[in-house]
C-alpha cells in the first residue's frame, strides 16, 4: 500500500478532493448575518427567519404611512375603493394592508380550493404536538379545512362553533370524528347564555375556560362581519394587560360592509399592536363572481401569525434529553 501512494501522488490528491467535495455537499454550510450589535444568527435558524420577516414588515408599516399621507393626508380622508374619476388614485383599501410578513415555515392551503380552504403557516409543526388545539368559528356544513388538519396531524383536537348549523360538514368522517367537538354557539364580545338566549353566545376567554384550554394553536374565524366587534373585545384586554394572545395563528375572512377606511385602519392597528402579522391574503373572488358586480370587492381572506410569546410557529420547542437507564 505505501508503494501506491509513493508512485501515484495524483491518486492521493484525487481521493482528497473527492472526500472534501463529499463533505461539502453533505454538511450544511451556515452563513452568518448580523441582525443586531453583538448578535448573529444563521440563515436556517428560526430566530433569524423571524428577525428578517420583522424587518420586512417594519418597512411595510412605514410605506403605509407614506401612502396615507400621499392620498389622505389622514386616514379619515382615504376612500376604501376610489371612484372612477381622473386622476384615478391607484389603490384600494387592500393595498394598505398587504400580507407582508414571511411565514418562517412552509405555507400551504388546507382544505378545499375555492371557498372553505385556508392558508396555514407551518402545519408540520403540529404533526406530533400532543396538546394541539384548533378552534373553528363558522362551519356552514363545509369542513374540508378541519378534516385536512385532522388527517395531517396525530393529536390535534378541533372545537367547532356555528349557531346556524347543527354539526360539522360531511368531510368529518367516522375515522376522525372522535377528535372533533361541536356546539351551536355564537362567538361574540360578551357572554349571553341565559335561558332566553338562543343561540347562547360566548367570548373566546369563556370558551377557553369552559373547555379547560390555555392556548389555541390555530384559530379560524368566519362570522360574517361580526369579526370587527368580536376581535376588538377579544384583543383589547390582552393589549391593556400587556399579555400574549391565546392563539398561535388566525385565519379570518374580513367583510368590509359599511366600514370606513378610518374604522378599518384603527381596527387593523389593534391587531398589529397585539402582535398579529399577516402572512397570506386573497380576495374572495367567489363572492365577487356570484354578484357579477366589480363593486363587490370588499371581502378578503387573511392569515395572520402571532409573533409574541413562544408558540410552536415562532419558537423551537426545548430539546429534552432522556438520561440512559441505570443498570
Cis preceding-peptide flag for 87 (omega within 30 of 0): yes
Q: What is the pLDDT of residue 27?
A: 43
pLDDT digits (tens, 9 = 90+) for 157-173: 999 999 999 999 999 99
Among 257, 235, 220, residue whose Cα is nearest residue 189: 235
Separation in Å, CA 317 to CA 46, 139, 159, 249, 320? 11, 32, 24, 17, 9
Mapping DSSP to helix (H, G, I), strand (E, B) and coil, where does residue 35 land? Answer: strand
Binning pLDDT at 50, 70 and 90, where does residue 90 land?
Answer: confident
The cell numbers describing 221, all together, are 374565524
pLDDT digits (tens, 9 = 90+) for 102-159: 999 999 999 998 888 999 999 999 999 999 999 999 998 899 999 999 999 999 999 9
Q: Look at 62 and 1; give whichever has higher pLDDT.
A: 62
118 secondary structure, DSSP code: E
C-beta separation of 254 from 302 below 8 A: yes
pLDDT digits (tens, 9 = 90+) for 10-53: 655 555 555 655 544 444 433 333 344 434 456 679 999 999 99
How far apart, in whole angstroms, are the C-alpha atoms of residue 259 and residue 220? 22
Q: Domain-by-domain residue ranges, the chain?
A: 2-30, 48-306
- Cβ atoms < 10 Å from Cβ of 13: 10
Among 236, 280, 309, residue whose Cα is nearest residue 121: 280
Q: What is the pLDDT of residue 226?
A: 85
Binning pLDDT at 50, 70 and 90, where does residue 5 land?
Answer: very low
Among 218, 273, 222, residue whose Cα is nearest residue 247: 218
How far apart, in whole angstroms, are the C-alpha atoms of residue 110 and residue 144? 8
Q: What is the pLDDT of residue 8?
A: 58
How far apart, in whole angstroms, are the C-alpha atoms of residue 44 and residue 156? 27
- Cβ atoms < 10 Å from Cβ of 278: 21
> What residues have CB less than 8 Å from 122, skipping those under 6 apart?
103, 104, 105, 106, 107, 312, 313
pLDDT digits (tens, 9 = 90+) for 233-280: 999 999 999 999 999 999 999 999 989 999 999 999 999 999 999 999
pTM for the full model? 0.83
Phi-psi region of 51 (alpha: psi -120 to 50; beta: other; left: phi over 0): alpha
Please report how many Cα atoms fall inside a 13 Å half-sphere around the Cα of residue 242, on the Cβ side.
Answer: 0
Q: Report H helices in the chain.
A: 2-7, 9-26, 46-71, 144-151, 204-211, 227-240, 261-273, 285-291
How far apart, in whole angstroms, are the C-alpha atoms of residue 303 and residue 277? 8
Predicted confidence (pLDDT) at residue 323 exceeds the cutoff of 80: no
Q: What is the pLDDT of residue 231?
A: 92
User: Which H helix or E strand runs over 300?
Assistant: strand 299-306
The correct answer on CATH 3.40.50 for the domain covering 48-306 is yes
Q: What is the pLDDT of residue 26?
A: 47
How far apart, in whole angstroms, are the C-alpha atoms of residue 225 and residue 259? 10
Q: What is the pLDDT of residue 10?
A: 60
Q: What is the mean pLDDT of residues 49-71?
A: 97
The cell numbers describing 214, all together, are 390555555
pLDDT digits (tens, 9 = 90+) for 172-226: 999 999 999 999 999 998 999 988 999 999 999 999 999 999 999 999 998 877 8
Q: What is the pLDDT of residue 44?
A: 74
Maximum CA pair distance of the chain?
98
Binning pLDDT at 50, 70 and 90, where does residue 288 land?
Answer: confident
Amino acid at each position: 500500500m505505501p508503494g501506491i501512494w509513493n508512485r501515484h501522488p495524483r491518486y492521493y490528491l484525487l481521493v482528497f478532493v473527492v472526500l472534501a467535495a463529499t463533505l461539502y455537499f453533505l454538511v450544511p454550510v451556515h452563513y452568518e448575518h448580523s441582525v443586531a450589535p453583538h448578535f448573529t444568527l444563521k440563515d436556517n435558524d428560526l430566530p433569524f427567519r423571524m428577525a428578517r420577516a420583522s424587518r420586512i414588515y417594519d418597512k411595510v408599516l412605514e410605506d403605509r404611512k407614506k401612502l396615507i399621507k400621499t392620498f389622505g393626508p389622514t386616514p379619515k380622508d382615504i376612500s376604501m375603493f376610489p371612484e372612477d374619476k381622473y386622476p384615478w388614485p391607484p389603490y384600494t383599501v387592500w393595498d394598505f394592508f398587504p400580507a407582508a410578513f414571511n411565514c418562517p415555515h412552509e405555507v400551504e392551503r388546507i382544505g378545499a380550493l375555492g371557498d372553505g380552504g385556508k392558508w396555514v403557516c407551518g402545519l408540520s409543526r403540529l404533526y406530533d404536538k400532543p396538546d394541539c388545539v384548533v378552534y373553528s368559528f363558522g362551519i356552514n356544513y363545509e369542513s374540508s379545512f378541519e378534516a385536512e388538519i385532522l388527517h395531517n396531524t396525530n393529536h390535534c383536537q378541533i372545537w367547532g362553533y356555528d349557531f346556524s348549523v347543527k354539526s360539522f360538514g360531511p368531510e368529518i368522517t367516522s375515522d376522525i370524528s372522535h377528535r372533533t367537538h361541536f356546539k351551536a354557539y355564537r362567538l361574540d364580545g360578551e357572554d349571553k347564555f341565559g335561558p332566553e338566549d338562543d343561540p347562547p353566545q360566548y367570548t373566546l376567554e369563556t370558551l377557553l375556560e369552559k373547555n379547560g384550554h390555555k392556548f389555541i394553536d390555530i384559530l379560524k374565524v368566519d362570522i360574517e362581519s361580526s369579526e370587527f366587534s368580536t376581535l376588538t373585545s377579544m384583543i383589547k384586554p390582552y393589549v391593556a394587560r400587556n399579555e400574549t394572545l391565546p392563539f398561535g395563528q388566525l385565519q379570518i375572512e374580513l367583510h368590509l360592509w359599511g366600514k370606513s377606511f378610518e374604522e378599518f385602519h384603527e381596527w387593523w392597528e389593534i391587531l398589529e399592536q397585539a402582535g398579529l402579522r399577516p402572512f397570506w391574503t386573497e380576495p374572495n373572488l367567489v363572492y365577487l363572481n356570484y354578484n357579477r358586480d366589480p363593486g363587490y370587492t370588499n371581502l378578503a381572506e387573511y392569515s395572520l401569525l402571532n409573533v409574541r410569546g413562544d408558540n410552536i410557529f415562532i419558537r423551537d420547542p426545548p430539546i429534552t434529553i432522556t438520561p440512559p437507564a441505570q443498570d
